[in-house]
Structure 1
């Protein structure tokens, strides 16, 4: 399964960004660039690396800029875009970007609104507390694997630091004082279908937080892709006798 685009977060503070056009669309992009701290310039600035074109006749402008090596976003013209601008949920320093590859800005905006209603206002404060607690977290769990598993368990649904709940300012410090590395756990799933969209909610959530996935050779890559990015994928003919610390998933498909 290939990615249509690779999402990136680019720091624009103090960097030049070309903005071409006027009217409502251009002003909306100007406000967004100003929030990011960009220095907005005209198209003659050769040292600008990216540009946003909000003009009716965008094609020749985009071609001219691209010939100079500038990455271009042409507003409402996805076929001319080197990059697209997502709808943004901002819980500083947490930022969630919703993109559709230019297919529908309205859909991205509606998803952003739904996420805004779901995410607690304390999410940014939780992220800052976790950042400030990194030295204490390393001291509490010197081994990287133990540290990752402890944090993963705390941030999982229903966990001590579940990010979908409101938290008191001292929540991270209380977790550090009481936390412990998770015990080894092996969960076995026999999947009824090779289609990843047929995963149950429990299966999808377990894959999203597991430390490793043991699987039969016929388990599709699309299902393995639902596991957390740094989880080990281990092909084997039978469930492991010693799965290792933290949460392990054993998968086979019947159907």
Structure 2
């Protein structure tokens, strides 16, 4: 991973913009859309966007300012992604400055897939936090219930129109089926692109991931960040609460 993706809250905060022309105007519109206070080079600020001025980049860096230099990824401390906006849901696509055209193409594809009501679903889930805690007091049980509801085909499937309006009924209805226990996944290769849809979904939901020592880091990176990862020669004899996975290579010895 060449960069750490972050979302900066810029409302009311100064951001330096250096440069003129259409590119600078586009960056100004983006910053103002995010609520930033656009200021000049001499103003105090933590970040800056510079259009066609390498000397300004050097001056700002000397002050400790993090700089984005438009169309100069080699001079950038941070890059600006292509954005899909379903407020408050934001999807950012970055290539580390390798190809803005590729990022744009991916954004257009994703735009076509994500329904306009996705933001309403996020707000509905935010408004239901207290009710969810009351319904599922245990954090792990609550997470599993939410995962099941948001899964493909689930009542709150985020790619389905009308999911936001289904939140109240979901909370009032019976418990959704939630995967628990130990599940074995036989991997075809070290390439995460070879994961089946089911395997990718289970990796994103599992609480613990036991794995054959030879399983690649690229595969393990597909698991939840907070899921435990345990290297072992054999699967656990029993599983505890939640969803546990045993990952083994298809060429592993029995």
Q: Distance in 1 between matches of 2:208 and 2:110?
A: 29
Structure 2: unaligned runs, 5 residues or longer? none
Does the 8 A contact of 1:239 with 1:250 survive in 2?
A: yes
How far has the Cα of 1:102 moved from its partner?
Answer: 0.6
Q: Distance in 2 between matches of 1:220 and 1:179?
A: 39
1:237 aligns with 2:233: yes
Decide which of 181, 190, 194 is 2:190's aligned counterpart. 194
SS of alignment partner, residue 101 of structure 1: coil
How far has the Cα of 1:192 moved from its partner?
Answer: 2.6
Structure 1 residues 42-191: aligned runs within 5 Å: 42-45=40-43, 47-55=44-52, 58-180=53-175, 182=178, 184-191=180-187
Decide which of 217, 220, 223 is 1:227's aligned counterpart. 223
Decide which of 3, 6, 29 is 2:4's aligned counterpart. 6
Q: Distance in 1 between matches of 2:75 and 2:199?
A: 39
Q: Distance in 2 between matches of 1:169 and 1:98?
A: 25
Q: How many positions carry a matched residue from both structures?
A: 250
Per-residue CA shift, 1:153-192, capped at 9, x if unaligned?
1111111211111125431111111242625233211223
Q: Counterpart in 2 of 1:16?
A: 14
TM-score, length-normalised on structure 1?
0.93
Change (3 A) 1:183 1:106: closer
SS of alignment partner, residue 85 of structure 1: coil
Does the 8 A contact of 1:149 with 1:211 survive in 2?
A: no
Q: Distance in 2 between matches of 1:100 and 1:128?
A: 29
Q: Distance in 1 between matches of 2:232 and 2:163?
A: 44
Does the 8 A contact of 2:132 with 2:171 survive in 1?
A: yes
Structure 1: unaligned runs, 5 residues or longer? none
1:33 aligns with 2:28: no
Q: Distance in 2 between matches of 1:156 and 1:169?
A: 14
Structure 1 residues 244-255: aligned runs within 5 Å: 244-255=240-251
Does the 8 A contact of 2:156 with 2:164 survive in 1?
A: no
How far has the Cα of 1:222 moved from its partner?
Answer: 1.9
1:206 aligns with 2:206: no
Does the 8 A contact of 2:17 with 2:28 survive in 1?
A: yes
Change (3 A) 1:244 1:237: same
RMSD: 1.5
SS of alignment partner, residue 161 of structure 1: coil
How far has the Cα of 1:147 moved from its partner?
Answer: 0.7
How far has the Cα of 1:219 moved from its partner?
Answer: 1.6
